[in-house]
C-alpha cells in the first residue's frame, strides 16, 4: 500500500511504509512509519499524510539514514489534529478583553473552560468548535503556562470525564460509548489470535463500604454526635459471596447539607448587601445558627467566585431575605466586596457554618448514598483490561473495523468472560488495516505519568500564584504607605524639634526606603566564591514603582572577578529600553538615573574583608513603622544566623521556643516519639505479627499515628511500596496505609517505614507486605527486625517486653537442662560427657550431643541454633550419617547417587547422561545420544529433541538421521499411522557425489543461503501427496491436463504447482473434498492455471496466493 506524503497539496514522496497507526482515548494518536527511498527527500515540519481517512502532520524532525547512494532509510512520526492544541497557550482575557494573561485562576464549569479553550484555539488557527459537553458543577481552576491539550487533560481528570477531538476540529466533553454489535472470541474463525488479561491498576476490591460526607452544616447531636455526614444505612455491600469481606472507608468531603442559592436582588447603595427571595428558612433561627460561629457565604459564580465571606452579626433580615456581609480581610490592600467586586443578580452561592434544616440533611444523606453506591459499583469487581490480536483473514472476510469507544461483545469460557467491553486503544498495521492489536476495558483513566505531571503542575501553579500575590501586595502596601505618609499631620499643634535627639527620634510614623528601591528579586542569588569573586544565577527583577505599572527585567548569569577588598555597593544595571539586567559591584556611588542608557538600582552592600570573610546585605524594599505596626519584607538577626522572610513566610535559622509558651506547646504537642515495640515475636520470620494485648488496652477507641519500620534486602535497585494491613477479631482484613520508597542499593539491608493512623485496639494481628511499585509484583522478602511503635518517627529496633521475658525464662531453663548432663569424665586426653555446647551470652549456638532422643535421626553435631532446636539447625549431622547444611561449600570430589539442585550449577568436565562435558562443550560419539526436553501427562505428550536418531516411530534410512525435532502428540494412545507428529523436523542427507550434504534450510552470515524442497512429478489425474510442498505436472501430449489436491491436508499447508510444458496448455487443479477460491474467481473444487499456482489450505478450503 502506497502513502502520499504532501506539502502544500503537492506530493513530495509516495512510499510503501511499514509501521502502525496508534490511538487511545485521551492518549496518543500518531502514525509511526519507516520506509526506504532510492533518492534523498527532505521532509519538513508541517508535511502531512492521510491514513485511513484521517490527516496526520509531521511535528517532529525525521530520522534519516544513508545506507548507500541508492538507499535512504527514513523513520517519521505523524500526529493527528489534536496535537495542534499542544502548540497553543491557554490565555485569559485582560481588562481590555484581549487574551494575554497566561497565569490566572477562574471559577467555572466544564463548558466555560472549554469555551475559553476554543477561543484560544481560534486565536491562532481557525475552524475549532465545541460539540457535546456534559453538564458539570462549578470548580476553581488555576492555570500557569498551560497549553490547550494539557488544559483539556486537566479538565477531564478533574471531572472524571473524557474529551474527544474529531478530525473536523470539534471538541467533545463526554464519555463516548457506542455498541458495535460485534462479537469476538479466541480461536480459528472466531476473530482473535491472542487474548491477554491484566489488571488496570493495583487498587483493592471493596465489598463492604463505609461512606462519610463532610463535617459542614450538621448539628452537634447529629446521629449520635457523628462528626461527619452519614448514610441512612451502616454500610453498603456487594459481591461478598464472591470475594469475602473486604472493607473500605471513603470520605466524600464535597457532600454536605447545603442549598445552592442565587442572588435575586442587590442594594445599589450598599455593595455589602444582597437578597435571595427564594431562601426557605430563617438564618436567625437558633436551630440554624451555631453558637459562637459566624455564618459564611461562598460564591461559586460572578466577580466574587471563590471568595468566602462572613455574614455580619445580626446582618440577615428574614423579612426581605437580605444578607449584609463583612468586608474581607484576605487582602490588606483591597476591600472585598467593593464597588468593583460585589455580588450581582444571578450569582450562585452556598451557606456554611450553619445547621441546615432537616430536609437538606436528608437530601445530603441520599446524595452521599448515591455517590457511595457509584463508588462501590466501580470497585466491587477487579478492574480488568484485555489486550487482543486480530485474525486478519477473519477480519477481512467480515470487513471488521475496530473503532475507539465502541463496545465489542467478548466471549471466552476459560476467562469466564461474556460481556460488552469498550475499545480504549488500538494499533493498526499500515499495510493491512485488518491486522490490528487493541485493548478493551470498562473505564479509562488519565495515565499515572500524566496525573503525576498534572499534580506537579498544580503545585507549581500554587507557588507561582503565591509569588504573584506577593508581588501585588508589595506594590499595594508601598503605595498605601506613601498615601498614609502624605497625609500624616501634627496632631499636637506643631512639630516639636525636641523630639529628634542624637540618641532617639519621636514621631508619628517612620518610613524607610526610596522609591527606586521598591523591587523584588525572583530566583537570582548572589554567591561569594572567594573574597574577590561573586557569582549570580539567572532570575528576574520586578520593579513596582519606577513606572506606572510593574516593569520586569531578566537577570543574566555572570561571575564578577577582581573585586576590591574595601566596602562596595551592589547595583542591578537594567536597560531603560530593553529587558536585560546584570549585577554590578563597585565602590562608586551611582544614582539611579544618572546614566542615559541604564537604570542603576541599589541592591545592597558588600562588606570589606572582616576576619577573613565578606558579607552581603540587601537594601531594597521598604519598612514602615507606624504606631504598634511594622511593615517590612525581612527581619535579620544581628549575628546573621537567623532571619525571618515575611514575604515568603519562612524562618531560616535555629529557633528556641521557651518552655511553657504557646508555640512550645503547639510544637511539642505535635511530636510523638514512641520507641516501645508493639509487636510480639519479631525475632522470627512470620506472615503476620501478634499485637501486645496489654499495650493495646492503652489506646482503646483512640485514633493515633503509628510507624512500622523494617530492614529488607533487595535483589536489584527498585522502587518499593510497603503496605500495612490490620486483621480484626472476626478475621477480616483492612488496609491501614502504604508508603512508596525509591531504593538505589541492593544486596544489603535497607530500613523502610510506613506511617498510618488507626484505632490499634480493634486489631489482633498486623500483616505487612512489600511490592514493586512499577510492576506490582509481590516481592516476598524476609523482614529483619520489624518494629511497630507509636508516633510518626521510627526509632531503633527493640524486642517487646513479653519477648524479653520469655527469652530470660528460656535461658534459665537451658541452664537447668545443662545440669542434667554435666556429669563429665576426663581421663588423659579423653573427655566423656553427654553433651558439649559452645555459645555466647545468649546461650548455646553449636554443640556435640550423645543423646538418642530420635534413634538414628538423633543429632550428633549441630551449629546455628540452640540445643533445644538442634533438630532444625542449619548445619547438623545425624546418627545415621546424614548431613544437612543449608549454606554448604564443598571442595573436592562428591560421590552421590541422587540429588536436587535449585541454584546455579558450574562444571568444567565430566558426564551428563550419554554426553561428555569437555572444553565447555557437550559432545557425544553415540549415534543414539541426544538431549530431550519432554512434557507428558495422561493424555498428552510433547518434546523438543536435539541429537542423532531421535525420530519417534521413524525408521532411519542409510546415512539419514534427524538431528532436531519439535514433537507434539495430542493423544497418548494412538494408532500406528498417528505415531509421529512433529512441528519442526530438521535433517541433512548425504550422497556419494562428493558433496557433504544437502541442507533443507541453509543460513549463512545472518541470511538465507538456500531453501530446498523435495520435488514430485504428478501425472495426469494423479493426486498430490499431503507431505509434498513443490510439484510439477508431468502430463504427456494428448492426456487430460488434470491433477488432484491432497485429500486431507494440514491446516496452513502451502503448496506450489508448476506447469513446465506450456505446450499442453492450462492445467486444471481439482479437489475432491474442499473448495478452491481465488481473489477474482470462486469455483467449486477446481481451478485452472497456465504456468504457476501457489495455494494455502485454511482448514476448510484452499485459497490461491499466486496464479499465473
DSSP 206-231: -SEEEEE--STT--TTTTTT-SS-B-
pLDDT of residue 353: 92
Q: Three-state SS for 375?
A: helix
pTM for this model (two decimals): 0.45
Beta bridge partners of 985: 965
CA–CA separation, 69 vs 40, rounded Å?
9
Residues of the chain with pLDDT below 50 are: 330-333, 447-456, 459, 476, 480, 483-484, 486-495, 808-809, 811-822, 953-960, 976-982, 989-997
Q: How far apart are CA 856 and CA 1102, in angstroms?
A: 73
Burial-class residue 494 by CB neighbours within 10 Å (0-12, 13-18, 19+). Answer: exposed
The DSSP element (H or E) to which 28 belongs, if any, is: none
pLDDT at 142: 85
Q: Which helix (H) or strand (E) element contains residue 448? A: helix 448-486
H or E stretch covering 666: helix 662-670
CA atoms within 13 A on the CB side of 460: 11
The reported pLDDT for the residue numbered 269 is: 87
Task: Check whether the bond before 337 is cis (ω within 30° of 0).
Answer: yes
Q: CA–CA separation, 845 vs 242, rounded Å?
A: 49
Grid cell of 919 as nine digits: 572444553
Those residues whose C-beta lies under 8 Å from the C-beta of residue 402, and which sit 6 or more positions away, are 390, 408, 423, 426, 428, 436, 438
> What does the pLDDT look like over 79-106, one tens digit per residue?
999 999 989 999 988 867 889 888 887 8
- DSSP character at residue 657: P
Do 403 and 424 contact (CB within 8 A), yes or no?
no
Distance CA 383, CA 199 (A): 6
Q: Which helix (H) or strand (E) holds 886?
A: none
Question: Other C-beta atoms within 10 Å of 384: how many?
Answer: 16
Burial (CB < 10 A; 0-12, 13-18, 19+), residue 600, is buried
**What would the pLDDT profile of 628-652 be if each residue is shown by its tens digit?**
567 676 776 655 556 677 766 677 6
Amino acid 487: pLDDT:
45
Strand order from edge to edge, sheet including 533-536: 526-530, 533-536, 558-560
**What whole-number distance in Å separates Cα of residue 167 and Cα of residue 980?**
57
Spatial distance between the Cα atoms of 728 and 1105, rounded to a whole number of angstroms: 68
Residues paired with residue 165 on neighbouring β-strands, in sequence order: 171
Amino acid at each position: 500500500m502506497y502513502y502520499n506524503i504532501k506539502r502544500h497539496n503537492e506530493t513530495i514522496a509516495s512510499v510503501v511504509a511499514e509501521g502502525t497507526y496508534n490511538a487511545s482515548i485521551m492518549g496518543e494518536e500518531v502514525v509511526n512509519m519507516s520506509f526506504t527511498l532510492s533518492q534523498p527527500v527532505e521532509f519538513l515540519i508541517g508535511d502531512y499524510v492521510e491514513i485511513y481517512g484521517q490527516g496526520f502532520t509531521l511535528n517532529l524532525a525525521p530520522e534519516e539514514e544513508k545506507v548507500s547512494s541508492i538507499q535512504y532509510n527514513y523513520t517519521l512520526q505523524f500526529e493527528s489534529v489534536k496535537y495542534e492544541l499542544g502548540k497553543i497557550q491557554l490565555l485569559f482575557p485582560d481588562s481590555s478583553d484581549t487574551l494575554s494573561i497566561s497565569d490566572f485562576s477562574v471559577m467555572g464549569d466544564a463548558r466555560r473552560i472549554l469555551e475559553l479553550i476554543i477561543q484560544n484555539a481560534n486565536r491562532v488557527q481557525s475552524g475549532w468548535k465545541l460539540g457535546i459537553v456534559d453538564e458539570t458543577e462549578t470548580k476553581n481552576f488555576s492555570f500557569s503556562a498551560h497549553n490547550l491539550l494539557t488544559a483539556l487533560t486537566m479538565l477531564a481528570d478533574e471531572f472524571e470525564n473524557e474529551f474527544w477531538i474529531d478530525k473536523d476540529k470539534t471538541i467533545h466533553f463526554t464519555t463516548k460509548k457506542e455498541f458495535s454489535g460485534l462479537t469476538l472470541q479466541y480461536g480459528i474463525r472466531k476473530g482473535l489470535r491472542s487474548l491477554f488479561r491484566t489488571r488496570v491498576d493495583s487498587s483493592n476490591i471493596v465489598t463492604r463500604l463505609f461512606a462519610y460526607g463532610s463535617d459542614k452544616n450538621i448539628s452537634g447531636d447529629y446521629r449520635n454526635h457523628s462528626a461527619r455526614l452519614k448514610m441512612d444505612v451502616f454500610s453498603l455491600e456487594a459481591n461478598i459471596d464472591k470475594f469475602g469481606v473486604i472493607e473500605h472507608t471513603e470520605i466524600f468531603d464535597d457532600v454536605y447539607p447545603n442549598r445552592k442559592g442565587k442572588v435575586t436582588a442587590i442594594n445599589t447603595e450598599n455593595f455589602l448587601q444582597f437578597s435571595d427571595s427564594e431562601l426557605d428558612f430563617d438564618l436567625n433561627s437558633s436551630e440554624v445558627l451555631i453558637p459562637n460561629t459566624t455564618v459564611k457565604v461562598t460564591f461559586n459564580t460572578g466577580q466574587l467566585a471563590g471568595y468566602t465571606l462572613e455574614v455580619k452579626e445580626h446582618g440577615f433580615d428574614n423579612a426581605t431575605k437580605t444578607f449584609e456581609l463583612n468586608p474581607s480581610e484576605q487582602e490588606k490592600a483591597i476591600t472585598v466586596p467593593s464597588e468593583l467586586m460585589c455580588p450581582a443578580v444571578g450569582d450562585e452561592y452556598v451557606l456554611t457554618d450553619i445547621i441546615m434544616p432537616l430536609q437538606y440533611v436528608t437530601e445530603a444523606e441520599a446524595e452521599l448514598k448515591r455517590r457511595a453506591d457509584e463508588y462501590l459499583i466501580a470497585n466491587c469487581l477487579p478492574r480488568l483490561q484485555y489486550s487482543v490480536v486480530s485474525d486478519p483473514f477473519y477480519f477481512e472476510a467480515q470487513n471488521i473495523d475496530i473503532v475507539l469507544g465502541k463496545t465489542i461483545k467478548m466471549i471466552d469460557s476459560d476467562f469466564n468472560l461474556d460481556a460488552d467491553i469498550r475499545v480504549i486503544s488500538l494499533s493498526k498495521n499500515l499495510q493491512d488495516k485488518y491486522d490490528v492489536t487493541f485493548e478493551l476495558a470498562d473505564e479509562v483513566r488519565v495515565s499515572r505519568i500524566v496525573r503525576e505531571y498534572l499534580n506537579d503542575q498544580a503545585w507549581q501553579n500554587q507557588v507561582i500564584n503565591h509569588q504573584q500575590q506577593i508581588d501585588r501586595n508589595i506594590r499595594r502596601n508601598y503605595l498605601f504607605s506613601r498615601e498614609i505618609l502624605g497625609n500624616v499631620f501634627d496632631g499636637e499643634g506643631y512639630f516639636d524639634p525636641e523630639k529628634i535627639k542624637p540618641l532617639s527620634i519621636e514621631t508619628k510614623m517612620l518610613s524607610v526606603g526610596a522609591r527606586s528601591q521598591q523591587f523584588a528579586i525572583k530566583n537570582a542569588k548572589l554567591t561569594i566564591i572567594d573574597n574577590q569573586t561573586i557569582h549570580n544565577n539567572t532570575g528576574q527583577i520586578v520593579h513596582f514603582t519606577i513606572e506606572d505599572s510593574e516593569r520586569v527585567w531578566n537577570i543574566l548569569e555572570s561571575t564578577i572577578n577582581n573585586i576590591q577588598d574595601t566596602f562596595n555597593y551592589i547595583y542591578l544595571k537594567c536597560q531603560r529600553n530593553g529587558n536585560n539586567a546584570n549585577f554590578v559591584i563597585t565602590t562608586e556611588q551611582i544614582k539611579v538615573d544618572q546614566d542615559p542608557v541604564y537604570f542603576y538600582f541599589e541592591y545592597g552592600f558588600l562588606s570589606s574583608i572582616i576576619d577573613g570573610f565578606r558579607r552581603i546585605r540587601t537594601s531594597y524594599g521598604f519598612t514602615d513603622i507606624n504606631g504598634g505596626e511594622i511593615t517590612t519584607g525581612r527581619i535579620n538577626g544581628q549575628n546573621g544566623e537567623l532571619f525571618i522572610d515575611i514575604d515568603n513566610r519562612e524562618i531560616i535559622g535555629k529557633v528556641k521556643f521557651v518552655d511553657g509558651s504557646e508555640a512550645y506547646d503547639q510544637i511539642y504537642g505535635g511530636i510523638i516519639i514512641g520507641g516501645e515495640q508493639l509487636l510480639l515475636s519479631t525475632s522470627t520470620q512470620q506472615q503476620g505479627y501478634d499485637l501486645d494485648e496489654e499495650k493495646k488496652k492503652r489506646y482503646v477507641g483512640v485514633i493515633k499515628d503509628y510507624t512500622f519500620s523494617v530492614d529488607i534486602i533487595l535483589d536489584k535497585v527498585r522502587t518499593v511500596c510497603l503496605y500495612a494491613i490490620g486483621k480484626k477479631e472476626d478475621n477480616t482484613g483492612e488496609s491501614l496505609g502504604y508508603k512508596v520508597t525509591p531504593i538505589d542499593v541492593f544486596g544489603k539491608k535497607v530500613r523502610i517505614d510506613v506511617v498510618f493512623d488507626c484505632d490499634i485496639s480493634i486489631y489482633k494481628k498486623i500483616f505487612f507486605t512489600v511490592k514493586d511499585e512499577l510492576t506490582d509484583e509481590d516481592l516476598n522478602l524476609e523482614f529483619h527486625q520489624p518494629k511497630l511503635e507509636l508516633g510518626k518517627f521510627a526509632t531503633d529496633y527493640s524486642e517487646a517486653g513479653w519477648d524479653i521475658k520469655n527469652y530470660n525464662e528460656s535461658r534459665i531453663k537451658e541452664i537447668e537442662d545443662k545440669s542434667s548432663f554435666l556429669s563429665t569424665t576426663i581421663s588423659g586426653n579423653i573427655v566423656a560427657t553427654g553433651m558439649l555446647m559452645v555459645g555466647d551470652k545468649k546461650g548455646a549456638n553449636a554443640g556435640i550431643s550423645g543423646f538418642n532422643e530420635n534413634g538414628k535421626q538423633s543429632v550428633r553435631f549441630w551449629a546455628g541454633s540452640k540445643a533445644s532446636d538442634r533438630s532444625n539447625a542449619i548445619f547438623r549431622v545425624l546418627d545415621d550419617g546424614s548431613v544437612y547444611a543449608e549454606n554448604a561449600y564443598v571442595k573436592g570430589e562428591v560421590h552421590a547417587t541422587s540429588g536436587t539442585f535449585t541454584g546455579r550449577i558450574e562444571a568444567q568436565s565430566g558426564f551428563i547422561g550419554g554426553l561428555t562435558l569437555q572444553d565447555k562443550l557437550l559432545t557425544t560419539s553415540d549415534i543414539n545420544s541426544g538431549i530431550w526436553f519432554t512434557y507428558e501427562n495422561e493424555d498428552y505428550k510433547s518434546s523438543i529433541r536435539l541429537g542423532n536418531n531421535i525420530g519417534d516411530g521413524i525408521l532411519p534410512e542409510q546415512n539419514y538421521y534427524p538431528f532436531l525435532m519439535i514433537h507434539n502428540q495430542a493423544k497418548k494412545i494412538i494408532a500406528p499411522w498417528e505415531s509421529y507428529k512433529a512441528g519442526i523436523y530438521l535433517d541433512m542427507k548425504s550422497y556419494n557425489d562428493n558433496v557433504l550434504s544437502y541442507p533443507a534450510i541453509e543460513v549463512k552470515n545472518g541470511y538465507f543461503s538456500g531453501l530446498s524442497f523435495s520435488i514430485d512429478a504428478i501425472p495426469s489425474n494423479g493426486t498430490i501427496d499431503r507431505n509434498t510442498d513443490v510439484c510439477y505436472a508431468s502430463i504427456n501430449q494428448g492426456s487430460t491436463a488434470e491433477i488432484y489436491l491432497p485429500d486431507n491436508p494440514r491446516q496452513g499447508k502451502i503448496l506450489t504447482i508448476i506447469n513446465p510444458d506450456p505446450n499442453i496448455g492450462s492445467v486444471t487443479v481439482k479437489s475432491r473434498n474442499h473448495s478452491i477460491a481465488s481473489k477474482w474467481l470462486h469455483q467449486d473444487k477446481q481451478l485452472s492455471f497456465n504456468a504457476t499456482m501457489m495455494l494455502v489450505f485454511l482448514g476448510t478450503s484452499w485459497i490461491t496466493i499466486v496464479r499465473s
